[in-house]
Structure 1
Amino acid sequence: MTVTAEQPVPYPFNEPEGLSLADAYQAALEEPGLIRVRLAYGEPAWLATRYADARLVLGDRRFSRAEALRHDAPRHSEGSQDSGILSMDPPGHTRLRRLVAKAFTVHQVEKLRPAVRDLAHRLLDGMEAMGQPADLVEHYALPIPVAVICRMLGVPEEDHPRFRAWSDAALSTSSLTAAEFERNRRELRAYMTGLVADHRRNPRPDLMTGLIEARDTGDRLSEGELVDLCDAILLAGHESTATQIANFVHTLLDHPEQMEILRKSPELLHGAVEELMRFVPLSSGANFPRYATEDVEVGGTLVRAGEPVLVAIGAANRDALKFADPGRLDVTRTGVQHLGFGHGVHHCLGAPLARLELQEALGALLERFPGLRLADDVRWKDQMLVRGPREMPVGW
């Protein structure tokens, strides 16, 4: 076991443009143990980069998310990082998660596949009618998850564009002040409060009405928890998936031999989505610190009680101790146990839905446009927690 007081290094490592894994992560994967890092705001933290260490921190109950609210938690922006259900520990976290979980089971989500497939093809019809080049983000990658999660929550179609700015603010690492961050959060809460009130007056068969019934009849969550939960579902239910649709397409265009394999063998698509989840490092930097509630040894490093640990999932998914030839994209790879959807009690609740949307979005695109190509320079997101194209002009 090692105890180190090394000087923290500036973090994050990844550049916002492109999807490569930073050399600093590659170097960290060559060495055992954790490294000390300092983000733009908050106290220094340990950074776990290896797969086994990452899985331990994500899954071990000795690491707490709720403790972050009682510390000057490491973060990328000045604003508060109270993330609702993501900032909770069991049993409170378990209580809220159970209320939503039944809507996101594999069985329930699979019922949505025909509608998602139809939506993907209708969007491609629209792109084809519009003509080349078309922005894959605006006209395809974003509308699919937005339409699906809004339908599940009962958000009117005309309101879909309104929460785009709120989502950008929630995921921003820019110079938003704490006041600006909080103002955006209040606006989203106000909108969601109004939507909850409308659903109370006019119930419909959707997830929000189910949560309202749990609130009003079962008293299983407070009014504030109800609004926060709907906020979290709405934001988490579209941003990462929309970004990964574009990221996966960009990655396949960079690996044309892998794209050709998928065109010739579409039955490999489900496994290819798992390999792409492993291969593409989505985050600009690790988020959501876990605080040790007692002294814990992680990869030979002693983490003292009260110290935060960040988990670099993109690096862990490239760990040669876990994956053979980790720096190579291989859409025929099987049994890929990546950490792209997290691990432990905070494993992504919407993983079955994200998988379905990614499978259908890629499948429809590869089938429809065999000559798919980049038609101009990609404009990348910057100052965001997730990396990916903001604009991606394509031709076919």
Structure 2
Amino acid sequence: MSGTAESRSAVSAPDGGRDWRTVLASSDVYTVLSDPVVMADPLPLAAWLRDNAPVYRRADGEYLVSRYEDVSRLFRAPIERIRVEAAGVLRSGAMEDHPSVRRLADTIGLRNPPEHTRLHQVYMRYFTPARVSALRERTRAIVADSVRDLTERLTAGEQVDLHHLATDLPTHLMSLLLDLPPKDVSWLNTCVWHIEQPFDPTITDARLADADRSSQELDAFVVDLVARRRGGGGSDLITALADTRDDEGGLSQNDIIAMVFTILAGGVPTVASVIALALWRTLVRREHVDSLAGSPGAAAAYVEELMRFESPAMYSPMPRVAVRDIELGGEVLPAGSRIYGLITGANHDPLAFQDPGVFDPSRFDPSSRRRSDSAVLAYGTGIHRCVGAHLASMEIEVTLDEISPLLSDLRVDGPVTWGRTSYIRSVSTLPVRLGASAPARSERRRP
């Protein structure tokens, strides 16, 4: 199995195969991960780390683990052993000096039990599999409208950026859930993208200032919105959160803002990035497109394999800190160590997945699933698993299903550009044309 993974990495490496030991000796691992060539195919680097430095120690003492067993243990560890630590979001400077970092610190992803448990119960009222299933037909109608417009433009000979399609669905779906105009959701989406930047170790002072400004603007918008919606009897998610009661009474204003931020962050920019990545993968690596039209569970299996193979989140940006000494990858990491999990490495570990370098949706098809394969870690696992995972997967499935009649005639027509955040693989532009034959090229979008 390891031979298959290694050959996949060597053959597909667009850079011809780098000496990763030399690269990492002269550049930080997160800077390397944000390189556009690596972002287009991070598997060679992930394989090298997993095989040669499964517990990689950065110059500042942080650790990055890349084997499936270690990443899974890290994500599932009880709080007596591993805790998320909000103060670790910003590597330098005081957290309290930055509104954006405080906003991130208040989200459910950076809270430990019992606060996490209380908020998680609230989230799961609104993101159960049954509620997500009820949204499927609305989702299909939104995508169908977008694909209809896309088809008209393509038929007229236009070049079309599929990133707009990827953004359109989550924006309009969130517009329905929050009862807000799409233009407001788009503006909030921009705020959220800025606010999330402190998660990126490569952040600059200018980007941090943008994050702080956006955090203040989003907070003010949500406070005003909640004041107007509370007690109004609406069926939207904002009203539901404003009127939520649990064992401790109503949610605090700060809790509601943090929840709205989290719902937006997971529901718009992240989903848009994953949909764009799914479309890119399907267009430039077409060998399994036909599997989308297979059994009733084909689309779901395809998306599950896509999440494993492409791993949109290359690593979890949440700072996890060892409460006591912990053994990972055969090494003892001392208490106080800050540890991150390389999801890309874990999802291609030959000890967890049979032939991990082969894109094989059948491994997750209910009719033929191989019991030897482990659970995919793209959405995380344990208590901090993404609460919107069902919704995100459903949106990707519907998008691929609706656009599938066009796929055989679409060709990438120009440079594919990538985002600048090291932890998420974000396709920023994906230009296509009917019947175009220009090869796909990847460039990193510059600020």
* 1:29 and 2:46 correspond: no
Tell me which moved more, 244-253 or 10-19.
10-19
Q: Which of 221, 224, 236 pairs up with 2:254?
A: 224
Q: 1:177 offset after TM fit, Å?
A: 5.1
Name the SS for the 1:373 alignment partner. Answer: strand
Most deviating of 78-87 and 162-171: 78-87
1:247 & 1:387 partners in 2: Cα distance?
8
1:109 lines up with 2:116 in the alignment: no
Distance 1:74 1:151 in 2: 39
Q: Cα gap change, 1:257/1:70 in structure 2, threshold over 3 Å: closer, same or farther?
A: closer
* Alignment partner, residue 263 of structure 2: 233
Counterpart residue number, 1:94: 117
Cα 1:71–1:133 change in 2 (3 A) is: closer
Q: Residue in 2 aligned with 1:151?
A: 176
Residue of 163, 175, 181 corresponding to 1:137: 163
Please show how residues 1-396 of structure 1 align to structure 2 within 5 Å.
Answer: 10-12=28-30, 13-14=32-33, 15-17=35-37, 18-31=39-52, 33-38=54-59, 43-61=60-78, 62-69=80-87, 73=91, 80=101, 82=105, 84-131=107-154, 132-138=158-164, 140-172=165-197, 173=200, 174-175=203-204, 176=206, 178-200=208-230, 202-214=232-244, 219-263=249-293, 267-283=297-313, 285-334=315-364, 335=369, 337-383=375-421, 385-396=423-434
CA contact 2:189–2:264 (8 Å) conserved in 1? no
Whichever structure has more helix as a proportion of its residues is: 2
Secondary structure of the 1:310 match is: strand
CA contact (8 A) 1:74 1:289 kept: no
Larger relative contact order (Cα-Cα within 8 Å, sequence gap ≥ 6): 1
Query: What SS does the corresponding residue of 1:390 show, helix, strand or coil?
Result: strand
Supply the AA of the counterpart residue of 2:180: V
Q: Is contact 2:84-2:318 (8 Å) kept?
A: no
Report the AA paired with residue 19 of structure 1. Answer: A
Given that 1:295 and 1:302 are in contact with CA atoms closer than 8 Å, whether structure 2 keeps it comes out as yes
Q: Distance in 2 between matches of 1:72 and 1:232?
A: 18
Superposed CA deviations along residues 286-307 of structure 1, whole A, max 9, x for unmatched, are 4112101111111211121111
Paired amino acid for 1:35: Y
Q: Shift in Å at residue 33 of structure 1? A: 4.5
Structure 1 stretch displaced more, 148-157 or 298-307: 148-157
Distance 1:154 1:306, change over 3 A: same
TM-score normalised over the length of structure 2 = 0.79
Q: Percent identity?
A: 27
Q: Does the C-alpha gap of structure 1 residues 163 and 31 become closer, same or farther in structure 2, counting only changes over 3 Å?
A: same
The range that moved more, 182-191 or 25-34, is 25-34
Instruction: String of CA shifts for 1:21-57, please: whole Å, max 9, x gaps.
Output: 153321121147411025xxxx431111000000000
- Secondary structure of the corresponding residue to residue 58 of structure 2: strand
Moved more, 20-29 or 167-176: 167-176
Question: Could you tell me how far apart the structure 2 residues matched to 1:8 and 1:83 are?
Answer: 35
Mean CA deviation greater in 254-263 or 358-367: 254-263
Task: String of CA shifts for 1:212-252, please: whole Å, max 9, x gaps.
Answer: 11159962421111111111111211222111111111112
What are the superposed Cα offsets for residues 159-178 of structure 1, whole Å, 9 maximum, x if unpaired? Answer: 12212321321233442354
Q: Which residue of 1 aligns with 2:4?
A: none
Backbone CA RMSD of aligned residues: 2.7
C-alpha contact 1:291 1:309 (8 A) present in aligned 2: yes
SS in 1 for 2:428: strand
* Partner Cα distance (2:67, 2:185) in 1: 39
Secondary structure (helix, strand or coil) at the match of 2:361 reads coil
What's the CA shift for 1:263? 4.2
Match of 2:5 in 1: none
Stretches of structure 1 that go unaligned for 5 or more consecutive residues are 1-6
- Separation in structure 1 between the aligned mates of residue 117 and residue 385 of structure 2, nearest angstrom: 12
1:117/1:360 contact within 8 Å kept: yes
Distance 1:364 1:20 in 2: 27
- Once the two structures are TM-superposed, the CA of residue 338 in structure 1 deviates from its matched residue by 0.6
5+ residue gaps, structure 2, are 1-24, 435-447
Secondary structure at the residue paired with 1:378? Answer: strand
CA contact (8 A) 1:33 1:300 kept: no
Aligned to 1:3: none
2:89/2:318 contact within 8 Å kept: no
1:11–1:285: 8 Å Cα contact kept in structure 2?
no
1:44–1:74: 8 Å Cα contact kept in structure 2?
no
How much has 1:187 moved relative to structure 2? 0.9
- Structure-2 change in CA distance of 1:218 and 1:93 (3 Å): closer
Counterpart code for 2:185: H
Q: Is the 1:53–1:298 Cα contact (8 Å) retained in structure 2? A: yes
The runs of at least 4 consecutive aligned structure 1 residues that moved more than 6 Å come to none
- 8 Å contact kept, 1:291–1:308: yes
| Between 251-260 and 279-288, the greater mean CA deviation after superposition | 279-288
What is the deviation of 1:82?
2.1
- Cα 1:194–1:296 change in 2 (3 A) is same
